[in-house]
Amino acid sequence: MASGFDGDIEAIELFVTEHYSNSMCWGDFKPWMRWYRENKLLGYIKGEGGQIEGMAMVRFVDDVQRAIEEPYFNDPNLDICWVELVIAPKPETLARLVDLLLTVWGERKYFAARRNHLGGAIKQYPFKVLSRLSFKGLTQLLSSSKQIGS
């Protein structure tokens, strides 16, 4: 019986194909996902019943163009966190994924991604924008807004 990621690979693949239509053109993306996982670049959240609730794949690059042109390039010492794929149907799942990223890799100067809902535009942002989406960041934001409204 497989355990850990090997046991979850089928569930992760199904989750991706159910929630991200572009995955249909990838064919068998298990080897690609395994590369991300072996390099601690794939994180996922499981619910209480063991079902996959969200997943993300990131790499660290020195230039966004390099992330696009070299799909297996990664150097954990570089300043740009390239978000290859993130699927988080609920805001709290995204916050948990960001917390996981911060716990494993820490903050960077920037994060960048292809924004499919913006026509595939590539966008780069200061990393603090992403950090605000973590549970810690959301808690600070809610705390600040309560103080303003008081």
Tell me the DSSP string of the chain: ---HHHHHHHHHHHHHHHH-GGGGGG-S-HHHHHHHHHTT-EEEEE-TTS-EEEEEEEEEES-HHHHHH-TT---TTSSEEEEEEEE-SSHHHHHHHHHHHHHHH---SEEEEEEGGGTTEEEEEEHHHHHTTSHHHHHHHHHHHHHHH-
Confidence of residue 21 (pLDDT cuts 50, 70, 90): low
Do residues 67 and 78 touch, judged by C-beta distance below 8 A? Answer: no
Confidence of residue 117 (pLDDT cuts 50, 70, 90): low
Report the DSSP beta bridge partners of residue 58: 83
Rounded mean pLDDT of the chain? Answer: 80
Average pLDDT over residues 69-88: 93
User: How many Cβ atoms from other residues are within 10 Å of residue 122's Cβ?
Assistant: 14
Q: What pLDDT shows up at residue 67?
A: 93
Q: What pLDDT shows up at residue 32?
A: 81
Confidence of residue 143 (pLDDT cuts 50, 70, 90): very low
Whether the per-residue pLDDT at 57 is higher than 60: the answer is yes
Average pLDDT over residues 16-44: 77
Tokens 């619910």 belong to residue: 47
- pTM (2 decimals)? 0.79
Q: What pLDDT shows up at residue 17?
A: 81
